[in-house]
Structure 1
Amino acid sequence: MTVARHAIRTAAFAAAYLLAFWAGGYLFLSALPIAALWLLAQTPSGRRRFDLIALATTTAVAATLNGAGPLLSLAVAAAGTLPALLFAVLTERWAPGWWQGHGDRFRSLRHRLSRVAAAAALSAAAAGLLQAVLLPDTPWYAAPLTTLRDTAAILLVTLAARALRRSRAPRTPGLTLVR
């Protein structure tokens, strides 16, 4: 992937993340699925540190635009970036090559999807824990509900993006035997 293409994709993900962050305040949604997809989709480029900087900056800007102070903006940036990074790293570790479409051919699809779902659950749990630390006045039942919501959202967004990516990928014809 060229640097220009990476920059365009980063800008597109940043715009989608800002939109999700803004809409999340009104619809009680989280921007975590977009952040997780951002870091997972940009993994093959090898420029993860730049994506982390861009994601943290975008999160801090979004928090500042919503009225947070500088210190709270940095805390929100950490709470938005770390779970997404955890999801990207765990998915690449537990299901190597799954995002690129090749992966471990010797394991069943159910086995690979269960690993991706476990990575989504751990990432959402980390986000729920960080949110509970940042907002100690939330009710006791909010953290498990947001964890469940974010787990399902991360999994659905990631699976939909992978299916869209695979449907747009060019198909190479297989080897045919001619008699």
Structure 2
Amino acid sequence: MTVARYAARTAAFAVTYLLAFWAGAFLFLSPLPVAALWMLVQGRWGLRRFDVITLVTATTVAGILGGTHLLSSLGLAAMVTLPALMFAVLVDRWAPGWWQGHGDRFRSPQSRLVRIAGAAALSVAAYLVLQAVLMPGISAFAVIFTLVRDVAAILLLTLAGRVLARKLSAAPATVAPLVRAGDRSHR
């Protein structure tokens, strides 16, 4: 991937994340699923540190534009970025090569799905711990609601993104198979 294409993808993810961040304030949604997908998709290019910096900057700026002070915006950026990064790293470790379309052929798809769901649940649990530290006084209902909502959103968004990535990277159907003209086994 070229640097220009990487920058364009990062900008597209940043715009999508900012839209999810601002829409989430009105629709009771979390920006964590978009951030988790961002870290997972861009991680295969080895420049995850730049995506972390971009995500922290986008979250901080969005928080400041939303009326939050700088220190609170930095706390919010940590609250979203660390669990998103945790999800991407856990998926890379527990289901290696899954996002690229290859990976562990010897495990069943259900086993991989359980591992991805476990990574989503752990990252949402980390998000909730950071949220409890930064914003004390959260009700048990809000914790359970956030846990179920965000795990489901991360799973749905990640699986939909994987299906879309597979369809976009599929080989064209017009390529003819390679056929040998003669048998060379009798030399």
Q: Find the counterpart in structure 2 of residue 79 from structure 1.
A: 79
Structure 1: which 5+ residue stretches go unaligned?
none
Please give the per-residue CA displacement for 1:7-47, whole angstroms capped at 9, x wherever unaligned.
00000000000000000000000010000000000011110
Alpha-carbon distance between aligned partners in 1 of 2:113 and 2:139, rounded to the nearest angstrom: 32
Alpha-carbon distance between aligned partners in 2 of 1:138 and 1:106, rounded to the nearest angstrom: 43
The alignment partner of 1:101 has SS state of coil
The amino acid that maps onto 2:60 is A
Aligned length: 179
Please give the per-residue CA displacement for 1:111-144, whole angstroms capped at 9, x wherever unaligned.
1111001000101111111112211132232112
Alpha-carbon distance between aligned partners in 1 of 2:176 and 2:49, rounded to the nearest angstrom: 38
Alpha-carbon distance between aligned partners in 2 of 1:82 and 1:56, rounded to the nearest angstrom: 10
Q: How does 1:149-160 map to 2 (within 5 A)?
A: 149-160=149-160
Structure 2: which 5+ residue stretches go unaligned?
none
Alpha-carbon distance between aligned partners in 1 of 2:65 and 2:135, rounded to the nearest angstrom: 18
Larger gyration radius, structure 1 or structure 2: 2
The alignment partner of 1:62 has SS state of helix
Q: Find the counterpart in structure 2 of residue 141 from structure 1.
A: 141
| Structure 1 contact 129–143 (Cα < 8 Å) conserved | no
Q: CA 1:111–1:26 in 2, change beyond 3 Å: closer, same or farther? A: same
Please give the per-residue CA displacement for 1:55-97, whole angstroms capped at 9, x wherever unaligned.
0000101111111101101100100100000000000000000
Q: What is the root-mean-square deviation of aligned Cα atoms in Å?
A: 1.7
Q: Find the counterpart in structure 1 of residue 90 from structure 2.
A: 90
Alpha-carbon distance between aligned partners in 2 of 1:126 and 1:168, rounded to the nearest angstrom: 33
TM-score normalised by structure 2 residue count = 0.91
The amino acid that maps onto 1:36 is A
Q: CA 1:154–1:174 in 2, change beyond 3 Å: closer, same or farther? A: farther
Off by >4 Å, runs of 4+ in structure 1: 172-179
Give percent identity, aligned residues only. 60
Q: Find the counterpart in structure 1 of residue 118 from structure 2.
A: 118
The amino acid that maps onto 2:159 is L
Displacement of 1:170 in angstroms is 2.5
TM-score normalised by structure 1 residue count = 0.95
Alpha-carbon distance between aligned partners in 2 of 1:174 and 1:147, rounded to the nearest angstrom: 48
Alpha-carbon distance between aligned partners in 1 of 2:31 and 2:176, rounded to the nearest angstrom: 40
